[in-house]
Amino acid sequence: MNISKSRFIDYMQCPKRLWLGSYRKELADETDQTAFQMGTMVGELARDLFPGGVLVEYNDADGRNIANMIDRTSALVAAGEQIIYEAAFSHNGTFAICDILVQNGNACDILEVKASTGVKDVYIADVAFQRHVLESCKIPVSRVYIVHINSGYERHGALDLNELFTREDVTDRADSIRPTIESSLQAALVMSEADGEPDIGIGMHCDDPYTCQFKGHCFSHIPANSVFDLADMHRDKKFKLYESGVITFGDIRESGVRLPGKARIQVDTQLDGTEIVEREKIKGFLDSLWYPLYFLDFETINPAIPLFDGTRPFQQIPTQYSLHCIDSENAQPRHSGFLAEEGTDPRRLLAESLAAEIPQDACVLAYNMTFEKTIIRQLAAMYPDLSESLESIARNMHDLMLPFQNRYLYKKEMRGSHSIKAVLPALFPDDPELSYDNLSGVSNGREASAAYLSLPHMAPEDRKRIRMELMEYCRLDTLAMVRIWEELRRRML
Ligand code: SF4
């Protein structure tokens, strides 16, 4: 079995990850492709830092024909092609693809592109592995670089790739781990041929440096309501408890281990079947609100490559909001929403719409309001003519998450979380209108962001459908807030 760059990185994280990825792929958890797609897009854009190169294509039904790629690369290197994208090399069971290879006379430079804002240790192992494979192929390597996103870049006009990307020379760091790479590679080759699943237990390594795709498999012996479900406790502490044999909530109680406040509440409510209702505190929270009462939720995109003037890499850009309003005591909630046209800078129209819809004296509820407030204050800073209206929205904002975050109301079904996705089904377990699972398409923020970004590339009928799904999803977020607020009031009767 070949050890590719990604298999090698899997091995460095956990030998069992390499083995499962080689022989039991079907055990992998479903993974989100968004980060992968973003990485591909950033990698392709970075090629323009070195224009005029030749791309070694992936060219078979599975997406790539390794043997063809290696032959093609070999011919390009021999012909002295100066810049090669996706250059592929193999030697004695090892295999590497370099994002960008630059030949300088008798040696070459390797450039690895990352859709990240800095250099991580795992990237050094990545390029050190590539260099090892090339040198094994008798191709001298001069320098190795990580090309990553410059978080300080602000777009104005056309993208300035030399400002968007930062090129860091990591040759010395790659040199320093050369012996580790060589010995680990030998061990990885042995592991890749092992007969059975390695006996390696779960631990901190399961999320470091990446969340392993086999957690579903390796954690399958952990029962529900275990130390791993505890709120507000560092993973390190959870694994210490696990390793000492304290796994279930029952074990925790029996062992007498001391827990931080929220974790203790979680264990007690679960084991005793109780719930927490701090009536005075809930009443105090509700009394701090007034009519008209608005419930606001944003959806955003945060592209690695800034799309609009005045934005930075990974900046949160609002594209959509949902608003429910209750004008007075006993009034029915009314709904409105905004979804920007795809492919345009959404901020000005969204800010205008928001300022026009929410009166300056209104009370505004958001769930986890830090996010909404930050977005609104950014808009206020951008548009002085709207700043008074927008600042008043931010100033009059209250956080509906607070009663749950502070455990004024807590049910065991919240499983230690105060996110709206945990609170809602705990309070309304049988209400199909309030179930995100019943949405026909987009059903979480990550999907909403990915769907919005792909709208410009869709056929008109698909675009129409996805826009409806986005509106429905965002509407459910504020409808959920209305129902939660009503439930808090009901409990005060
Ligand atoms: S879940 Fe943990 S133990 Fe299992 S393969 Fe992944 S890293 Fe290894």
Q: What pLDDT, in 10s, does the model give residues 358-370?
A: 999 999 999 999 9
Does 35 have pLDDT greater than 60?
Answer: yes
CA of 30 to the centre of ligand 1 (A): 15
Provide mean pLDDT across the span 222-233. Answer: 95
Mutate to test the pocket of ligand 1, among 205, 208, 235 (most ligand atoms within 8 A of CB): 205
Question: Mean pLDDT across the chain, nearest whole number?
Answer: 95
Element (H, E) at 169: strand 165-169
Distance 115 CA to ligand 1 centre (A): 24
Ligand 1 centroid – CA 147 distance (Å): 29
Q: What are phi and psi of 134, to 5 degrees?
A: -65, -45
Q: Is 205's C-beta closer than 6 angstroms to any atom of ligand 1? A: yes
Residue 10 CA, ligand 1 centroid: distance in Å: 10
Q: What is the pLDDT of residue 437?
A: 87
Q: How far is the CA of 215 from the centre of ligand 1 (A)?
A: 6
Cβ of residue 16 lying under 6 Å from some atom of ligand 1: yes
Q: Which two tokens stand for residue 24?
A: 């039991």
Model confidence at 215, pLDDT cuts 50, 70, 90, reads very high
* pLDDT mean over 25-49: 92
Whole-number CA gyration radius for the chain: 27
Q: Which residues share a beta bridge with 96?
A: 89
Q: Does any ligand 1 atom lie closer than 6 A to the CB of residue 14?
A: yes
User: Whole-model pTM?
Assistant: 0.91
Q: Whose CA is nearest to atom 3 of ligand 1?
A: 202
Ligand 1 binding pocket includes 467 (Cβ within 6 Å) = no
For ligand 1, atom 7: residue with the closest CA: 206
What band does 65 get if pLDDT is binned at 50, 70 and 90? confident
Nearest to 336 by CA among 236, 204, 229, 478: 478
Q: Report phi then psi at 36, rounded to 5.
A: -65, -45
CA 16–ligand 1 middle distance (angstroms): 6
Instruction: Tell me if 17 CB under 6 Å of ligand 1.
Output: yes
Cβ(197) – ligand 1 distance below 6 Å = no
Q: Which of 55-64, 150-159, 180-189, 227-236 has the lowest mean pLDDT?
A: 55-64
pLDDT grade for 106, boundaries at 50, 70 and 90? confident
pLDDT (tens digit per residue) in 369-402: 999 999 999 999 999 999 999 999 999 999 999 9
Task: Scan for tokens 């719409």, then name that residue.
Answer: 353
Ligand 1 proximity of 206 Cβ (cutoff 6 Å): yes
Helices (H), 167-255: 171-176, 178-192, 215-218, 235-243, 249-255
CA 211–ligand 1 middle distance (angstroms): 9
Task: Name the residue of 197, 215, 242, 243 whose CB sits within 8 Å of the most ligand 1 atoms, as the mutation to test its pocket.
Answer: 215
Share of the chain above pLDDT 70, in %: 99
Give distance in angstroms: CA of 5 to centre of ligand 1: 18
Among left, alpha and beta (phi > 0; psi -120 to 50; other), residue 274 is beta
Mean pLDDT computed over 308-320: 96
200 lines ligand 1 (CB under 6 A): yes
The answer, yes or no, to whether residue 63 has pLDDT greater than 60, is: no
Long-range contact pairs involving 368-373 (C-beta distance under 8 Å, separation at least 24): 368/399, 368/401, 368/419, 368/420, 369/397, 369/398, 369/399, 369/401, 371/298, 371/316, 372/296, 372/297, 372/298, 372/397, 373/397
> Is the predicted pLDDT of residue 228 greater than 80, yes or no?
yes
Could you tell me the pLDDT band of residue 486, with boundaries at 50, 70 and 90?
very high
Q: Which ranges in 90-145 belong to alpha helices (H)? A: 121-136
The preferred substitution site among 24, 25, 206 for testing ligand 1, maximizing ligand atoms within 8 Å of CB, is 206
Cα of 202 vs centre of ligand 1, distance in Å, is: 6
Does any ligand 1 atom lie closer than 6 A to the CB of residue 27?
Answer: no
- Per-state percent for the chain, helix, strand, coil, to nearest 5: 50, 15, 35
pLDDT digits over 463-473, tens only? 999 999 999 99
The sign of the torsion formed by the CA atoms of 233, 237, 241, 242 equals: positive
Say how many Å lie between the CA of residue 92 and the centre of ligand 1. Answer: 27
Confidence of residue 203 (pLDDT cuts 50, 70, 90): very high
Nearest CA to ligand 1 atom 4: 218
Is the Cβ–Cβ distance between 320 and 448 less than 8 Å?
Answer: yes
Residue 64: is its pLDDT beyond 80?
Answer: no
CA-based diameter of the chain, in Å? 83
- 3-class state of residue 342 by DSSP: coil
| Structure tokens belonging to residue 384 | 């002085």
pLDDT-derived band at 34 (thresholds 50, 70, 90) equals confident
For Cα atoms 277, 283, 289, give the angle at the middle one, nearest 5 degrees. 135
pLDDT at 1 over 80: no
Portion of the chain with pLDDT greater than 90, in percent: 92
Rounded to the nearest 5°, which phi and psi values hold at 83?
A: -125, 125
Mean pLDDT to the nearest integer, 343-363: 96
Task: Say which residues have a Cβ less than 8 Å from residue 244's Cβ, sequence separation at least 6.
Answer: none
pLDDT the model gives residue 62:
53
Q: How confident is the model at residue 440 (pLDDT cuts 50, 70, 90)?
A: confident
